[in-house]
Structure 1
Amino acid sequence: MKLRELAHSRTGDKGNTLNISVICHDAQHYDYLRDALTAERVKAFLGDVVLGDVVRYELPRLAAFNFVLGNALGGGVTRSLALDAHGKSLSSALMGMDV
């Protein structure tokens, strides 16, 4: 199944760092996603774009995770030549991950 079936996401950026929050549609899916959605898997899935480290922060009371992706925006919004310099499409791409 695709991640989008269990969660939705939001993104934010600061310089060359992107964060992607993954929020469970239903809190009962949190434990499953905690095991299935590791920082390593996110890094591998977005590896062509994310050149730095990926750190996962767990937010169990919100049934959510926050992933901080370093060196992910081609130098940052004001320096990148990418069409999506803010990285908003990466959250949509991540929702296509098989979990």
Structure 2
Amino acid sequence: MKLREIAHVRTGDKGDTSNMAVIAYRRGDFDRLCEVLTAERVAAWFADSRPTDAAPVRRYELPALGALNFVLPGALRGGVTRSLALDAHGKGLGAALLDLELED
């Protein structure tokens, strides 16, 4: 099962950092997200997109919203005003995260 089947993603940016909120469609799926969607797993998923010397990915839990917020330093390759990437805001990163395969 893909992450997109139980959650949706909203993204934002600040400088060179991408911010992704993963929000469960159903309240009951939040605990599963907490279990399988670790900061380390998200960092590994985006390993090719971030510099090796970037600060670690951070995860914040928002149980009242049924959401996890991930902060990915260095993911925007210089930030909106400096990056030559086609997706300088990182909106495509959220769509890429939704392709993550979850264990059934």
- Normalising by the smaller structure, the TM-score range is over 0.9
Instruction: Provide the C-alpha distance between the structure 2 equivalents of 1:2 and 1:50, rounded to a whole number of angstroms.
Output: 22
Provide the identity percentage. Answer: 59
TM-score with structure 1 setting the length: 0.97
Q: How do residues 1-99 of structure 1 correspond to structure 2 at under 5 angstroms? A: 1-51=1-51, 52=54, 53-99=56-102
**Per-residue deviation, 1:2:** 0.3
Partner Cα distance (2:50, 2:38) in 1: 15
Q: Secondary structure at the match of 2:76?
A: coil
Q: Distance in 2 between matches of 1:5 and 1:77?
A: 30
Structure 1 residues without counterparts, runs of 5 or longer: none
Structure 2 alignment gaps of length 5 or more = none
Divergent runs of 4+, >4 A = none
| CA–CA separation in structure 2 for the residues paired with 1:86 and 1:49 | 13
